[in-house]
Structures are given as C-alpha cells and as structure tokens.
Amino acid sequence: MVTKEQAEKRIEELRKLIRHHNYLYYVLNKPEISDAQYDKLMNELKELESKFPELITPDSPTQRVGAPPAEQFETVKHVRPMLSLDTAMEKEEIKKFDERVKRELGIDDVEYVAEPKLDGLSVELIYEHGKLVMGSTRGDGINGENVTENIKTIRAVPLVLRSEEIPVPDVLAVRGEVIMHIDDFEELNKKLIEKGEQPMANPRNGAAGSLRRLDPRETAERPLDIFFYEIMDIRGYDGINTQWKALQSLKKWGLKVNPLVRKCREIEEAIEYHEEMAEKRDRLSYEIDGIVIKVNRFDYQEKLGVKSRSPRWAIAYKFPPREEVTEIVDIVVQVGRTGTLTPVALLKPVDVKGVTVSRATLHNQDFIDQMDIRIGDTVKVARAGDVIPEVVAVLKEKRTGREKKFHIPDKCPVCGSDVVKDGAFYRCTGGLSCPAQLKRAITHFASKGAMDIEGLGGKTVDMMVDSGLIKGVSDLYFIKKEDLLKLPRFAEKSADNLLNAIEESKNRSLARFIYALGIPNVGEHVARLLAKKFGSLENLMKASREDLLSIYEIGPEIAENVVAFFREKHNLDEIEKMRQAGVRATTAVEKKEEGGPLQGKTFVFTGALQNFSRDEAKAIVEELGGRASSSVSKSTDYVVVGKNPGSKYEKAKKLEVKIITEEEFMEMVGK
C-alpha cells in the first residue's frame, strides 16, 4: 500500500520527468525515451492520481483534457494590442524598410532576426509564476477569445514552464502561432468527408477551426502544433534586450521556437534567408507564407515605435501566393465507383506557383451552398502542399448577375437513374447499369492489386463500355478477338495480349477476387482476411453478419456491406457467369501474398515519392506479403519518407520507428 506521502513524492517526480521528456521531444526535438516508455510514466501518474485524487493539480500533465464544453467563448482583453505586420512582396521594399529603420535610428548598422512566417492562428498565452493561466485567440487584436481549455490540449504547450536553466518570470505573456501540419490536415479532411462533414479549405482553417471547437475534447483529437515567437509582456525578469535573446529564453522555458529562425547581421542576409526559405517551403511539413524580419534590439524597437496596427520595426516579406484568382467555367458531376456524385469546378486554367490548375473539387452540395459558389463566379483557388486545389473564396464583388446557381441533378448525368441523398452526399442508384460506375468497377476489377489484367486500363475500359461491348464485369470473360479488333487502337497483337491477360486472371486467388468485386470498404487487407477465414467463395456467400463479426478487425459496417453485396441478385448473376467462364478463385491467397519477403511487415508512406504513386508503392508492399497502412503507430515497421514529409515523419521519429528513404525502399523490394 502506498502512503499519501509516498504518492505525493512519486507524483512530483513523475510530473517532473514527463515535463522533461516533453521538453526534449517538443523543444529540442531530441527525444530520449520511446513512446511506450513515455506512456508508462503517464500511466503510473494517472494511477497514483486516481488513488489520491486530492493530489491532482490543474497543471498536472494528466489534466490536458477534461473541461466540459463551453456555451461560447468569453472575451478577454490582450495585455498589449496584438499587432499585425506590414507586408512586402519585393526586395526593393525590404531595402526601403532597412533604409527607413537606419534613418530613423540615425545609425547605419542594424541587426535583424528573420523567422518563418507561419500560416496559422495567432494566440497569446499567459504564464504566472510559471503556470499557464490563460490562452486567447487574437480576435480583433485588442480583444480575443478565451480558449485556455483548448490551448491546454495542445501537447507542445507546456502547462508549467521549465526553470532548470533560468528562473521563470512572475508573469510572461507570449505570442505564438497554432498550426496544423499538412499531412494531418489531409488526414483530417479525409475523416471529415467520410463522416459527411465539411472539409477544411486549408491547413490554416484546419488549425483555426480545431482550436475554436466549443468542446475541448474535440480540440484534443485534432492534431495541433505551436511555435512561439514574441514576448508580449514580462515581469519580474530582467535582461532580455533583444529578439534573439527572447527566442533563446523561450526555448529554455520549454516554449517551442521554430528551428529555422536566424540572426542576420544586415538586411542582405535576411533577403538571402527569404530566398532560402522560398526554396525550402515545399519540403516543410507545415505552411509558411513568407518570412518576418524584426529589428533585433529592443531599445531600437522602442525608438521606432508602432503605428496604429503594426510595428515600425518589423515587416513581413511574403512569398508569391499559392492562391490565384480565376473563373469557374462550369460545374460538372463525377460519378464514383460506388455512385457518389462529386461536384467538380472546371476552371479557366491558371498557374498557381508553377502548377496549372484547371479543376477543383467542390466536395459536395453543402460546400457549394455554404460558400454560395455559382457557375461563372470569379474565385480564389489555392494549393497547399500537394493537396488537390480548392476554391477558398468567392469574389462576390465581381458578379455580373449572369452567374448560375448549381445543384446536383436529381437524375444521374451519366445513366439517368434516380439520385438519392445519403448523408452529405448524393448517390446514383443505377449501380452497375450506370456506365460511369461500371467503368470504374471494371477498372478496379482489372487493377494490379485485384485481378491484375495487364493492358486493361481506364481508356480501354471506357472504349469497351462506350461501344457497348461490355455491359457487366462478367462480359470481360466473353470478349472475342473479332470484337476487340473492331475497337480503335486494337490490332492483332494487342488483342491477343489482352485476351491472354484476361485468360490468365482466371487463376487469381480468392483474396484478389473478393477485393476485385469492389464491395464497399473491403480493401485488399480485409479481402485477404475474408479469404483466409472462409476459404471459398461459397462459404463467404453464405456467411452471416455474426460470422463476419467474429473476425478480429471486421466491424459492423464491413459485415453489413458484405452481406448486402451477396444478397443482390445482379451481383450473384455476375459471379455465376464468371465462374461458368472459368474464374476459379480457389486458393485462398497466393503464395507470394502469404509468405512474401515482407510478410508481417507494416509500411507507412509519407511525402511525395519520386518513382511510384502512393498506390503503386502500397501495391508493391502487399504483393510481397507486407501491409501498407496510412498512419504510424508502434507496430509500424518502416516509414518510407519521400519529398516534403509530413507529421508522420515526426511521429516515426518519436516512436523510434525505422525510417527509410525511397531509395532504400526500392532496394528492399528489388525495384
């Protein structure tokens, strides 16, 4: 039995240890323990605190999440106005800024600090005697919203400042930027769309929207990060007389400072820094939209003073925007494999920092309605990292009155079947009688991870369906050479090749066949589980919901989908025809799927690969018996890092998962 005194002592120790490891991880980026070891400390602390709840203090590392949802945010006044920055786009403007600074100071030697201009949400945090007591958004600069409980959920925010190296001030008000890493942003959007909720337009909105959730538990689930860059007020502590020193001190107190900050002896160095960062920008895991140049010495800053809303001692030197203005020429609807109708804006092509953008997804009808997007509108489109272009704003002042509202039609534009609403989405009810769905179903059926029919790609499938040669997937197995020869682009040899490939596909494994059927949510991995469990198609077709649910990793949604699929007469007819044509699907899984060289190994890919698409890389892994997953965990074996890796890379480092380059991966898989 632990006595209260013993518990008190150990609790103190544990809190100190945890804070120390947070500091190593977040501020120094040099963790010394694994995630598992960290969790162990946390669990021990939680356990002791649950035995002695009277020992819980609000600044305990266990108390990040827990406050009840707020009705609304309270307004709080900032200690000093949170100013914004004058901006410049051109080198000349920066030189003029430097000249003015020197003129007003009456000197010709000025040192600057250059920092990345983080594209997130500005916040103020107040620490009293080292304890976090307040966190607020910028608001209008004078008053912000009290988001303390939400700020506390951000792991990189210390609840208690470190005092190991330098003492903590009585009061410290510090400004920083809450950001969302691009990878996390993409993942979040995927989840939001799956849940039928509105996706976020860009990582900045992702950060702002997440921080401003009324329920702190929801904020806690959003992956937010923060960098600190300005001391707004400090009491009971002397000696910080430059921005550079301020940044170093923030680090010592455990407040994360961007590692790319740089002291510049003269303005030319800051201009070079701008060029360097512009080049580096695409490889960062988060968005920056420029750099901020600040006069280093505080006495100089004071002398220069502030204007109404911006300081005269700092300037933002922006990068060319990844946003451009263009026009929506039309809105079309894309029909997905399972019938989901996705509205897509066709744009007057525009160059957005080196990439020609001519389409942007509009996600769904709610998105169009909320943004009030109309055909003919002038819009701002943006590209974040390698994210699909998005419409981020409608320039309503450019409207002429000729713009047309858009609504997803009530009949499928491809097959004319009824369209039904399903959550936030509209769906064509035509099933495989809809040529658009059929084309996608066949392309999927023939794809590498499925029946692997070489030479049967999107264009060929389009031709086959459009010419009426194929009306269902099973028709593939009844194609005759003379039919193929009637299609453009087919000659003797190519027709023979395709027919051989189709013939060969009859021997694919059951796992591949199940995957090829395109049952919603049944990916390659699940298909293999099903094949191994049931051994034959007959058994799978007879399986009840309960039989399916008894498989570890299979939940109600997949179970329902499988049962529903085999209840559909059309699907049963198709399967029967394929079997008559000789599709066997007898062996559960192919040898190479079962005991491949990557058997039991899990891979995660992050960043842009140079030699494969993500899907290709995943297919290679699976082919060799490994598993590709989209998120890093302790059970991940390898994280393959491409260009511009995101937070998965950071996570891999934290979890001490083996990180390999694309080249090492290629070597491993013999490519």
- If phi > 0 it is left, if psi is from -120 to 50 it is alpha, else beta; for residue 530 that is alpha
Q: Which is nearer to ligand IVH, 230 or 622 (CB)?
A: 230
Q: How far is the CB of 230 from ligand IVH (least distance, A)?
A: 5
- Residue 123 touches ligand IVH, criterion: CB under 6 A: no
Residue from 15, 19, 21, 117 binding ligand IVH (CB under 6 A):
117
Q: Is 277 in the site for ligand IVH (CB under 6 A)?
A: no
- Asked if 177 touches ligand IVH (CB under 6 A), the answer is yes
DSSP characters over 159-204:
SB---SSSPPPSEEEEEEEEE--HHHHHHHHHHHHHTTPPPPSSHH
Task: Compare residues 82 and 628 and give the one whose CB is closer to ligand IVH.
Answer: 82
> Is position 117 annotated as part of the catalytic site?
yes
Helices (H), 569-636: 569-580, 591-595, 614-623
Contact 440, 336 (CB under 8 A): yes
Is 605:632 a contact under the CB 8 Å cutoff?
no
Site size toward ligand IVH (CB under 6 A) is 14
First to last CA, the chain: 59
Considering only residues 60 through 89, tell me which ones interact with ligand IVH, judged by CB under 6 A: 83-85
Minimal distance in Å, beta carbon 161 to ligand IVH? Answer: 20
Residues 314-373 that bind ligand IVH (CB under 6 A): 314, 316
User: Helix, strand, coil shares of the chain as percentages rounded to 5?
Assistant: 40, 20, 35
* Cβ atoms of residues 85 and 314 within 8 Å: yes
Q: Does 124 bind ligand IVH (CB under 6 A)?
A: no
The smaller minimum CB distance to ligand IVH, of residues 122 and 474, is found at 122
Residues 283-322 that bind ligand IVH (CB under 6 A): 292, 311, 314, 316
Beta bridge partners of 176: 123, 228
Contacting ligand IVH (CB under 6 A), which of 49, 111, 115, 377? 115
Residue closer to ligand IVH (CB basis): 187 or 287: 287
Comparing CB distances to ligand IVH, the nearer of 118 and 442 is 118
* 76, 94, 113, 118: residue in contact with ligand IVH (rule CB under 6 A): 118
Identity of the residue, 258 or 521, whose beta carbon is nearer to ligand IVH in the bound complex: 258
Q: Which one, 178 or 360, has the nearer CB to ligand IVH?
A: 178
Catalytic one of 16, 117, 421, 569: 117
Instruction: Tell how strand 323-335 and strand 131-137 pair up.
Output: unpaired
- The H-or-E segment that residue 369 falls in is helix 365-371
Q: Which amino acid is at 149?
A: E
430 touches ligand IVH (CB under 6 A): no
x/- string (CB under 6 A) for ligand IVH, residues 511-550? ----------------------------------------
Pick from 22, 60, 122, 210 the residue near ligand IVH by CB under 6 A: 122
**CB under 6 A: which stretch of 116-124, 296-304, 346-354, 544-552 binds ligand IVH?**
116-124
CA atoms of 647 and 568, how far apart (whole Å): 42
C-alpha dist (Å) from residue 113 to 48, 119, 206, 257, 486: 46, 18, 29, 13, 70
Name the residue among 213, 189, 197, 183 with its Cα closest to residue 121: 213
Residue 607: CB atoms within 10 A of its CB come to 23
574 touches ligand IVH (CB under 6 A): no
Smallest separation, CB 269 to ligand IVH (Å): 17
Closest CB to ligand IVH among 144 and 449?
A: 144
The side-by-side arrangement of strands in the sheet containing 112-118 is: 87-88, 314-318, 288-295, 112-118, 262-264
**Can residue 145 be called a binding residue for ligand IVH (CB under 6 A)?**
no
Q: How far apart are CA 18 and CA 48, in angstroms?
A: 14
Q: How many other CB atoms are found less than 10 A from the CB of residue 577? A: 16
- Residue 319 or 477 having the CB closest to ligand IVH: 319
User: How would you label 292-301 residue by residue, b for 16+ Cβ within 10 Å and e otherwise?
Assistant: bbbbbbbebb
Q: What is the DSSP letter of 67?
A: P
For the bound state, the minimum distance from the C-beta of residue 122 to ligand IVH, rounded and expressed in Å, comes to 3
Q: List, in sequence order, the alpha helices (H) in 23-158.
A: 35-51, 91-105, 148-151
In the complex, the smallest distance separating the C-beta of residue 246 from ligand IVH, rounded to whole angstroms, is: 11
> Minimal CB distance to ligand IVH: which residue?
122
414 counts as binding ligand IVH under rule CB under 6 A: no
Spatial separation of the C-alpha atoms in residues 606 and 246, rounded to whole Å: 34
Alpha carbons 122 and 529: distance in angstroms, whole number: 47
Q: Least Å distance between CB 244 and ligand IVH? A: 13
- Closest approach of ligand IVH to the CB of residue 316, in Å: 5
Q: Find the shortest distance in angstroms from Cβ 229 to ligand IVH.
A: 4
Q: What is the DSSP string of 234-286?
A: EES-----BHHHHHHHHHHTT----TT-EEESSHHHHHHHHHHHHHHGGGSSS
Per-residue contact flags (x/-) with ligand IVH for residues 206 to 245, judged by CB under 6 A: -----------------------xx---------------
Binding site for ligand IVH (CB under 6 A): 83-85, 115, 117-118, 122, 177, 229-230, 292, 311, 314, 316
Q: Could you list the active site residues?
A: 117
